[in-house]
Chain A
């Protein structure tokens, strides 16, 4: 997905249905925007700043402060590798390395085909299942390096498609 997919009506739509009316929170709107585009397109942020009457500098400050926001396009599937304490002591960093190797990610966090983005997160709150990886809305418990390829395969296009 790239910035050309951004449409003004999307912003109108998000602002229009926001439950708290005029008391609308900048962060909440940005979260919806991010959910829709998987990142925050520059033009969308400029429009948002105008519509909410919030200085663009503040919009940018929020966009760069919080971990969930991205200013660059992300992959179709978001792989969140938990590096909370419980996952750390059970080898979460090794799972992260394995996933990056499997996806041939040498630098950067998004694969060339924009299928996957890998991010490190600090505790998904599923510590009893460590090490844990969340892909989109699916949580994988007690993951091992050996199981990683099989898990990733579920999100690859089926061969012969």
Chain B
């Protein structure tokens, strides 16, 4: 089973092609974590049942996540010679109708949301058409093409090129789409220095947060002297609101592994670690399978592709500590200790894991590597802006219409992302801000909607790129509460080693809590700003150094909201419990009693079909009545 030659690789690819495009119909179910949480397993089981019950000649396969999260569960049907049709929001109940249509060579138009007439094979640079000449089915052509759909129009898929297309458990399918060709090219046609040169020329920067040039980082580690060198994949995706790394690991684990092998060759490392957070069991499962397959094919282990290179990858599991995303803390954790950061220098490139030269990149960074090596640094550098090259994957979540995972070129504006791909603000509400960069980032207000998204522009606006979470906020989000949220988060996650972070964050969290609970006083804003300077300037690691960002940007752009809380004891967004009150509008209340049933306090009384009354003395402001009322009769003031 070992792959030694290009011919071997092509043969594995041929097996993969046969699985990707079988001679009978193929039904694919998106079974990444989001899909499964939406019921994809039930849909998968129902498809198996129904296909056999109706005697339809079709295979059913699982794929990763294509990023259309708001339409999960997703089912794709690909019949030979016909376009690939994507069905959205499919339940087990809807399955029989889909299979019936399939048996007739038709589709269920009302559930079909997207169509692909072929797919791009990024690495080989070829496009594979699905269509046979005589198969232009009229009905199918009424389903919009992916490239005509707002969510996908502006996308350029490099990192996510295989997500939702291949079965992540099949190394052959990965190879069929050009996988491990870049590794073959690197080992056979390029010197390690040339690989580093290619990465440098691409302009690729770290996708985990700080945006350090990847080529330079590799060069430092290559030049360092040490008995053993290590490379690490940081898959401790800790930023709340970001899940692109999970999706890549669940949907296309081999791209990360191939990127790491190429990196190991360039740097001269013989061992690699993937540090995955424990919250991602499916990603761990997919990686375990992928590593095992790569070992069987001789792409990991001794004498890789017959080149004489030895390299192995081990999985290391996190245990729920946000600070372990910081590289020195992460290495302490791999070494089996508490994940406390240490001062730099020495940088990991000089002294990292077990004191040896170590190179750390995150999942998305590694996933870019095979495409850069295959297509060349110049090709990659044509995408993006002057200083930020290539694409970035963003998770577009919160109060947005299309909750989704998108990969777009750097330099795209927030407007294009939020109103284009995102489809605007959910429930017709007003756009207020977008939070980027997690707890190290900040909130960018609506007036900066035309900001081009790249490393520099986001930093200038007071936030950071971070790992790519974009949490969209509407007029019902309280910015003071959000700042408090991040400080509560960071207070729990500060490792406690250095004083500015441990005490500073704690103090700032207390001040913010006071403000949201109506105990804010004159001078609090200034005190927060003063503490922010100290925490930023004096903390040991990135966690503390960036911790004040969420409060600094909210003060910068939403000072009036802070003042409303402090001076008027009022929460304009209606979020802070101590500053709000619920009541019932007698004119709108129909007396349906739904609020009465959900109220945990029996605070609402009233006769059936007559306006009800809410007793504010009993109310604990859980908001349950507000959520269930269909008539807008529960009023928040």
Contacts and interface: CB of A to CB of B under 8 A. Distances in A.
A68 B333 CA distance: 14
Contacts, number: 158
B325 to A, nearest CB: 12
A121 B320 CA distance: 9
A89 B471 contact: yes
Contact of A68 (B34, B278, B316): B278
Interface core residue of A31, A65, A91 (most chain B CB under 10 Å): A65
A28 B316 contact: yes
B338 A65 contact: yes
A144 B189 CA distance: 57
Contact of A145 (B34, B242, B318, B622): B622
A33 to B, nearest CB: 12
B317 A27 contact: yes
Contact of B473 (A58, A87, A89, A145): A89
A89 B623 contact: no
B69 A128 contact: yes
A133 to B, nearest CB: 10
Interface in A83-136: 83-91, 94, 97-98, 101, 121-130, 132
Contacts of B485: 85, 88
Contact of B243 (A28, A126, A139, A140): A126
A124 B435 CA distance: 18
A151 interface: no
Nearest to A130: B397
Contacts of B280: 125
Contact of B241 (A20, A27, A31, A123): A123
Contacts of B489: 83, 122
A113 to B, nearest CB: 21
Given A68-B278, A85-B435, A89-B473, A27 B398 contact: no
Interface in B303-339: 314, 316-322, 333-334, 336-339
A31 B317 CA distance: 9
A61 interface: yes
A98 B621 CA distance: 12
A134 to B, nearest CB: 8
A3 interface: no
Interface in B599-632: 600, 622-624, 627-628
Contact of B397 (A83, A101, A128): A128
A69 interface: yes
B83 interface: no
A146 B598 contact: yes
Place the interface of chain B in its size category.
Answer: 35 or more
A141 interface: yes
Nearest to B620: A97
B321 A66 contact: yes
A120 to B, nearest CB: 9
A122 B627 contact: no
Interface in B453-506: 469, 471, 473, 477, 482, 485-486, 489, 492-493, 495
B543 to A, nearest CB: 13
A27 B395 CA distance: 30
Interface in B30-44: 33-34, 36-38
A121 B280 CA distance: 13
B33 A126 contact: yes
Interface core residue of A67, A69, A101, A130 (most chain B CB under 10 Å): A67
Contacts of B600: 98, 101
Interface in B230-253: 237-243, 246
A42 interface: no
A67 B316 contact: no
Nearest to B239: A123
Contacts of A71: none
B397 A86 contact: yes
B12 to A, nearest CB: 25
Place the interface of chain A in its size category.
Answer: 35 or more
Contact of A27 (B33, B72, B279, B336): B336
Contacts of A68: 278, 319-320
B438 interface: yes
A62 interface: yes
Contacts of A61: 337-338
Contact of A125 (B279, B404, B438, B482): B279
A128 B404 contact: yes
A27 B600 CA distance: 42
B70 A123 contact: no
Interface core residue of B278, B404, B438 (most chain A CB under 10 Å): B278
Nearest to B38: A141
Contacts of B243: 123, 125-128
Contact of A62 (B281, B338, B477): B338
Given A86-B398, A101-B600, A128-B395, A65 B317 contact: no
Contacts of B435: 85
A85 B441 CA distance: 12
Given A90-B398, A139-B33, A139-B37, A125 B246 contact: yes
Interface in B269-290: 278-281
Interface in A40-92: 54, 58, 61-62, 65-69, 83-91
A128 B316 contact: no
Nearest to B601: A101
B399 interface: yes
Nearest to A102: B600
Contacts of B338: 61-62, 65-66
A44 to B, nearest CB: 16
Contacts of B281: 137
A121 B493 CA distance: 11
B493 A91 contact: no
A123 B279 contact: yes
Contact of A128 (B34, B320, B321): B34
Contacts of B403: 127-129
Contacts of B333: 27
A94 B576 CA distance: 12
Given A31-B278, A122-B238, A58 B37 contact: no
Interface core residue of B69, B321, B485 (most chain A CB under 10 Å): B485
Nearest to A149: B598
Contacts of A152: none
Interface core residue of A62, A88, A128, A137 (most chain B CB under 10 Å): A128
21 contacts: A27-B316, A27-B336, A30-B319, A62-B337, A66-B338, A69-B319, A85-B469, A85-B471, A85-B482, A86-B240, A88-B482, A98-B622, A98-B624, A122-B492, A123-B238, A125-B280, A127-B403, A128-B397, A128-B405, A129-B34, A145-B623
Given A61-B338, A68-B319, 9 more contacts: A26-B336, A68-B320, A84-B241, A89-B399, A94-B623, A122-B240, A127-B242, A127-B403, A129-B72
- Chain A to chain B: the 7 pairs with minimum beta-carbon distance, closest first: A84-B240, A67-B320, A128-B69, A66-B319, A128-B403, A139-B37, A26-B336
